């Protein structure tokens, strides 16, 4: 009975994630429509983790592996891609960066997470867990400059005073 409840809970979590997403999930064995556009790729499958035994080894991106960083190995996403990984059994999630290739296809796993990422998803003791994963768009932001040339500046008003006026909006 508990197994059925766990299975139903996992299905409910995945269904709720799919409901909010404009795209559908691809199963582990399914081919995706367009690998170039990774923003529409979603996977549901098994994740494993690796830690101390790989500490310091060279990864596919040329850097040494650090089990304390939020990284992962996957064949399904380009190196450097940020991926959100959701543990289906408990709803915990983490964003990792793909830094390596793996796991071996014959193991039927989608992703190998670093020990730190597996710890955030709370499955280190289990070794494997069902996950839902999808790429996260990364972007950088910066503050916009205040352009006082766009408004008529009252005589004797400094740039700082104009910024303060702009931030104080009437209710």
User: pLDDT higher for 148 or 24?
Assistant: 148
Question: What is the pLDDT at residue 41?
Answer: 77
Average pLDDT of the residues in 20-32: 39
Report how far apart, in Å, the C-alpha atoms of 166 and of each of 106, 133, 137, 169 are: 60, 42, 31, 7
Report how far apart, in Å, the C-alpha atoms of 165 and of each of 98, 151, 168 are: 45, 12, 5
Using an 8 Å Cβ cutoff, are 110 and 129 in contact? no
pLDDT, tens digit (0-9, with 9 covering 90-100), for 72-107: 999 989 999 999 999 999 999 999 999 999 998 888
Q: What percent of the chain has pLDDT over 70?
A: 67
Q: Could you state, in order of their start, the residue ranges of all structural domains in the chain?
A: 2-135
CA atoms of 42 and 21, how far apart (whole Å): 10
Report how far apart, in Å, the C-alpha atoms of 131 and of each of 63, 118, 137, 157, 166 are: 26, 11, 19, 57, 46
Question: What is the pLDDT at residue 20?
Answer: 45
DSSP letter for each residue of 121-158: TT-TTTSEEEEEEEE-------PPPP-GGGSPPPTT--
pLDDT, tens digit (0-9, with 9 covering 90-100), for 106-119: 888 999 999 999 99
pLDDT, tens digit (0-9, with 9 covering 90-100), for 40-77: 678 899 999 998 889 999 999 999 999 999 999 999 89
CB atoms within 10 A of CB 95: 15
pTM above 0.75, yes or no: no
Question: Which residues does residue 95 pair with via DSSP β-bridges, in sequence order?
Answer: 84
CB atoms within 10 A of CB 80: 10
Rg of the chain on CA atoms, in Å: 22
Q: CATH homologous superfamily for 2-135?
A: RlpA-like domain (2.40.40.10)
């Amino acid at each position: 009975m508990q197994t059925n409840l766990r299975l139903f809970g996992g299905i409910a979590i995945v269904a709720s994630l799919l409901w909010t997403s404009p795209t559908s999930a691809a199963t582990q064995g399914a081919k995706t429509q367009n690998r170039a556009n990774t923003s529409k790729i979603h996977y549901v499958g098994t994740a494993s983790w690796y830690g101390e035994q790989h500490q310091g080894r060279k990864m596919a991106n040329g850097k040494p592996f650090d089990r304390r960083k939020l990284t992962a190995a996957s064949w399904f996403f380009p190196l450097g891609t940020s991926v959100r990984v959701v543990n289906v059994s408990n709803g915990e999630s983490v964003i990792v960066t793909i830094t390596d290739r793996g796991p071996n296809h014959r193991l039927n796993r989608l992703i190998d997470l670093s020990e730190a990422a597996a710890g955030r998803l709370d499955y280190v003791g289990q070794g494997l867990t069902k996950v839902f994963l999808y790429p996260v768009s990364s972007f950088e932001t910066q503050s916009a400059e205040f352009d006082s040339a766009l408004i008529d500046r009252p005589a004797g008003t400094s740039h700082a005073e104009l910024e303060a006026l702009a931030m104080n909006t009437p209710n």
